[in-house]
Amino acid sequence: MSYLGVGISPGNVAVYHGGKMKVVDRRLRLTELLLRCSVTALAFLGLILIVTDTQVKKIFTIEKRAKYTNMKSLVFLVVANGIAAVYSLLQSVRCVMGSMKGSVLFSKSLAWAIFSGDQQAMAYMSVAAIAAASESGVIGIRGEEELQWMKVCNMFGKFCNRGAGGVASAMLASLAMVLVSCISAFSLFRLYGATTQRPPNLAVVK
């Protein structure tokens, strides 16, 4: 059976929305698009701030240069931000294409793939990278007396301040990514309780 001659595979669900649900669905798609664009912008901003963060300090005749590659946690954060920015950009394009098509069919396999990518990969990876970078930042500010680690930020204040801005930007991107994963979860699990009635005034083609 199909609606208007459009075949429905077992992995797809034809969902009919009433007037109110159409408004909710439209707002949900818009919110998802805005959040994904925010993730792209914030993750890319954080990446730029950290990659370009450097400071040279001259101690007597010796020059010491601080850069993000000196801290493995910042390297991890840069990689995570890059992946999150590209992934969110691609998903933003998908959202725009989906809104333009206005398709009533939604693949469960695609919904699972998006949900897994948003929550399992992006959200968890971003949170882990930020946690590692934040811990390194705290050690840089406070030092660690038991291990005789000096307070690096007392010497490289500019480097630490710019790096903190990059971490803060990545943190906002991670928060937006968590919200996106919630929307992905809602979009996925509502398919299993979706109404599969045919829309009114549409003939059934056998």
Full residue range of the structural domain in which residue 97 is found = 2-205
- Tell the residue number behind the tokens 């990689």, with chain if given: 79
Q: Note down pLDDT in tens along the chain; length 206 residues.
A: 444 444 444 444 444 445 565 666 778 788 888 999 999 999 999 999 999 988 887 777 778 888 888 888 899 999 999 998 998 898 888 888 877 766 544 677 777 788 777 776 677 888 888 888 888 888 777 766 665 566 777 788 888 888 889 999 999 998 988 888 888 887 777 777 654 444 444 444 44
Considering only CA atoms, give the Rg of the chain: 23
Count structural domains, the chain.
1
Output 2-8 pairs: Cβ under 8 A, ≥24 positions apart.
2/204, 2/205, 3/104, 3/198, 3/199, 3/202, 3/204, 3/205, 4/202, 4/203, 4/205, 5/205, 6/105, 8/105
| pTM of the model as a whole | 0.73
Hey, what are 120's tokens?
């399992």
